[in-house]
């Protein structure tokens, strides 16, 4: 129990399940009694009475109109908004989300008693993340990086087909089979003259060499992504986290916002899409929930590794990324973009760190 002469009299914090904390506390009568004038002003500003200007209702008439209990309830709300913050600081409670505060005793000239339940940042006991990363990296197949003649031939064919499809032929009324034949017939031969027209290529051999390098780069990126997915899955599996519902809901809200934006970019109203899919948004959120849980857990794990290894991006890196975001999304809020940029850059640096510990 904590004794204080400041904004609250006592507070006891008890851990609950799902990374929640219940705070039982009280505020001295003299302390929460100080909020009477402010409470009356708040109510005065929100009420309208015939014959009086807004905010200018005499106190005795206001109290007669709304009742003593309404005044006490407003006083309690003002006092608890201050006391709750002070308790979090004093008790070192890392709260997230909005608390549920319930007044258990409210009487004039008596201590104000309450309980507050809030979600907190989960405790994380990290596994041997370096060993996990090393183990998952060893699963990478060297064959995934090899560029075969078949890869190059298929890429060349795609380039020739794309060139043929851009020649302006009207294939709208053709069957798929007729369309394919028309494209095949219009495909240019693979000559030095053709590849020179595509870009900075001296001849067919140079074109194939540079195409091979490009494919190799794509394969490296794909291999890195596959390894990172394995590392992420293994870290989530090996780390025990009691995830609070508020974090899952927050991730689900982000997923829903992105989903809605993607649908609208396609020129389709979300309501029409849902009708066509014969699903409700609640059903979709239930489908997304496992992924949202996994994503929220992974972010907590990456944050904890970054903290433990002192991994963070430079201020200049964050600023450059924010500038790119704002340039691409004209209405983006710079402050929120900075938080997003720092998270993305930190995550990247954590993965690079894990990949380097082979």
**For the domain bounded by 10-120, which CATH number is listed?**
3.30.70.1050
What distance in Å separates the CA atoms of residue 93 and residue 199, rounded to the nearest whole number? 60
In the sheet with 95-105, reading across from the earlier edge strand, the strands are 10-16, 20-27, 112-120, 95-105
> Is the pLDDT score of 36 beyond 60?
yes
How much is the pLDDT for 188?
85
Mean pLDDT of 289-316: 95
How much is the pLDDT for 4?
43
How much is the pLDDT for 167?
64
Percent of the chain past pLDDT 70, that is, above it, reads 96
Q: What are phi and psi of 287, to 5 degrees?
A: -70, -35
CB neighbour list of residue 67: distance below 8 Å, 6 or more residues apart: none
User: 172 or 85, which is more confident?
Assistant: 85
The mean of the pLDDT values for the chain is: 90
Instruction: List alpha helices for 123-203, DSSP H.
Output: 129-137, 149-165, 176-186, 192-196
How much is the pLDDT for 169?
55
What distance in Å separates the CA atoms of residue 57 and residue 44, rounded to the nearest whole number? 6
Residues of the chain with CATH 3.30.70.1050: 10-120
Condensed to tens digits (0 to 9), the pLDDT of residues 159-215 reads 888 888 776 555 566 777 877 788 888 888 899 999 899 889 999 999 999 999 999
How much is the pLDDT for 6?
74
What distance in Å separates the CA atoms of residue 55 and residue 68, rounded to the nearest whole number? 18
Q: Which of 29-43, 262-276, 297-311 has the lowest mean pLDDT?
A: 262-276
Joined tokens for residue 252: 């689900």
Mean pLDDT of 75-93: 94
What distance in Å separates the CA atoms of residue 34 and residue 39, rounded to the nearest whole number? 9
CA angle 247, 250, 253 (to 5 degrees): 155
């Amino acid at each position: 129990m904590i004794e204080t002469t400041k904004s609250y009299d006592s507070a006891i914090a008890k851990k609950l399940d799902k990374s929640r904390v219940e705070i039982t506390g009280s505020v001295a009568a003299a302390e929460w009694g100080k909020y009477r004038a402010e409470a009356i002003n708040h109510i005065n500003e929100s009420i309208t009475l015939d014959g009086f200007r807004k905010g200018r209702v005499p106190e005795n008439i206001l109290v007669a109109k709304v009742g003593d209990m309404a005044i006490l309830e407003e006083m309690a709300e003002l006092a608890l908004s201050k006391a709750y913050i002070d308790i979090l600081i004093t008790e070192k409670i890392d709260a997230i989300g909005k608390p549920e505060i319930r007044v258990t005793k409210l009487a004039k000239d008596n201590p104000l008693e309450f309980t507050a339940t809030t979600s907190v940042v989960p405790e994380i006991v990290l596994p041997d993340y370096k060993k996990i990363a090393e183990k998952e990296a060893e699963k990478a197949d060297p064959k995934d990086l090899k560029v075969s003649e078949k890869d190059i031939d298929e890429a060349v064919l795609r380039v020739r087909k794309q060139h043929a499809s851009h020649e302006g032929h009207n294939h709208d009324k053709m069957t798929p089979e007729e369309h394919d034949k028309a494209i095949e017939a219009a495909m240019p031969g693979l000559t030095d003259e053709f590849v020179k027209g595509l870009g900075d290529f001296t001849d067919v051999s140079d074109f194939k060499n540079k195409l091979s390098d490009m494919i190799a780069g794509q394969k490296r990126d794909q291999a890195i992504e596959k390894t990172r997915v394995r590392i992420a899955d293994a870290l989530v599996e090996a780390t025990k986290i009691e995830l609070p519902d508020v974090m899952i809901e927050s991730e689900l809200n982000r997923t829903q916002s992105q989903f809605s934006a993607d649908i609208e970019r396609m020129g389709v109203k979300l309501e029409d899409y849902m009708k066509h899919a014969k699903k409700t948004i609640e059903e979709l959120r239930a489908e997304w929930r496992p992924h949202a849980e996994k994503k929220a857990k992974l972010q907590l794990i990456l944050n904890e590794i970054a903290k433990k290894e002192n991994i963070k991006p430079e201020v200049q890196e964050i600023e450059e990324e924010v500038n790119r975001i704002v340039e691409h999304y004209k209405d983006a809020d710079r402050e929120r973009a900075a938080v997003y940029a720092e998270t993305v850059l930190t995550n990247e640096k954590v993965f690079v760190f894990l990949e380097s510990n082979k």
